[in-house]
Amino acid sequence: MNVSIFPVGHYGLAGVLVAATMIGGGFSAAEIPGPPAPAPEGHRWVLNDALSDEFDGVRLDERKWNNPFRGWKGRVPGLFVPEAVSVQDGELQIRVGVLDPPRGDQGQWTVQCGAIQSKRPNAHYGYYEARIKASGTSTSTTFWLKKRRDRKDPQSKSTELDILECVGGAQRFAAFGDHMLSNTHLEYAPQPGVAKEDAVIKKGGRSPVGGRVADDFHTYGCWWVNPTTMRFFLDGKEVHTIELPTDQDPAPMNQPMFMNLVCETYAWEVPPTPESLRDPALNVARYDYVRVWTLVREVK
């Protein structure tokens, strides 16, 4: 039996797929359970090695990840620093903390944060899953995809797919502390005669996790089905769906993106206290693994 990549388009996904071969950390793809979403008839899921990581080594795999995030320092007062990120105990750990002394020309960076990003923007249609235990501070713990708009190209757009956005120690909005919050953001280049608000599309979904996101590990997944449909899974069960409108763009979420694992500060959230940032029981976001599968069409 042969297989062919689906959908390939012009993105060259064949170059990042492996079928029943070894992946980072020495695991065989055959030993890893597949997505909870059954593959459509005539297709099967194949693990995407370039975007999957079991975090079973002793350091971050620099073949797969940028540390820190390229082109973004973080949101004041939280600065992304490489030392916030480590691989240990079979996990990616992002540790927030106090920057002492503060950094920046005005001392504006006072909180240590961390962010890693896939080397290339080759995250496209498929199933995305990570097992995560959020930190217990009022910094975020997130798992998302994004491709920024090319400001020089009037036809380009920015796309973002947030699989998980949570705050383990949420204080202003309780749902961030006990829900799987998912979202989509699309931003189009300004066009003559088009209002600014019409150049932005946002649509989200949410589901309770049955406790606090910082109390235990949960498995957060998303099947990015096509340009308009994203189906979300929590601990192996489908929980919500996002359907994007097509009146403005017939294929809104259609471009490959970078994949990101990020802990940051939010302007709308109460800043984390120095005490919480120094507390080892609260200040670490833990990512057990991230796994990505792509559909292939079986050709008999």
Active site (catalytic) residues: 160, 165
The CA distances from residue 7 to 15, 227, 264, 296, in Å, are 13, 12, 34, 8
Asked if 222 and 127 touch (Cβ cutoff 8 Å), the reply is yes
Q: Is-contact 182 145, C-beta < 8 A? A: no
- What 3-state DSSP class applies to 59? coil
Whether 55 and 289 have beta carbons less than 8 Å apart is answered as yes
274 phi/psi in degrees, rounded to 5: -55, -35
**Strand, coil or helix: what is 276?**
helix
* Helix intervals (H) in the chain: 175-178, 274-277
- For 103-121, give one letter per residue: b (16+ CB within 10 A) or e: beeeeebbbbbbbbbbbeb
* 246-265 core/surface letters (b: 16 or more CB in 10 A; e: else): eeebeebbebbbbbbbbbbb
Any idea what the Cα angle at residue 292 is, between residues 286 and 293, rounded to 5°?
155
- Residues 102, 99: Cα–Cα separation, whole Å: 5
Residue 24, class by beta-carbon neighbours within 10 Å (0-12 exposed, 13-18 middle, 19+ buried)? middle
Give the integer Cα–Cα distance in Å for 265 and 140: 6
